[in-house]
Amino acid sequence: MNYIEPLDRNQYQLMNCLDDMVSTNSPARIIDKVIDSIVSSNKERFEKERQTEVGRPKYHDSLKLKRFLYGYFNGICIT
Is the pLDDT at 12 greater than 60? The verdict is no
Buried-exposed string 42-73: b where 16+ CB fall within 10 A, e elsewhere: eeeebeeeeeeeeeeeeebbbeebbeebbeee
Alpha helices in 5-42, H assignment, sequence order: 18-21, 27-41
Q: Is the dihedral of CA 54, 55, 56, 57 positive or negative?
A: negative
Non-local CB neighbours of 34 within 8 Å, separated by 6+ positions: none
Give residue 35's pLDDT band: very low, low, confident or very high (50, 70, 90): very high
Is the pLDDT at 64 greater than 60? The verdict is yes
Is the pLDDT at 13 greater than 60? The verdict is no
pTM over cut 0.95: no
How large is the average pLDDT for residues 49-75? 82
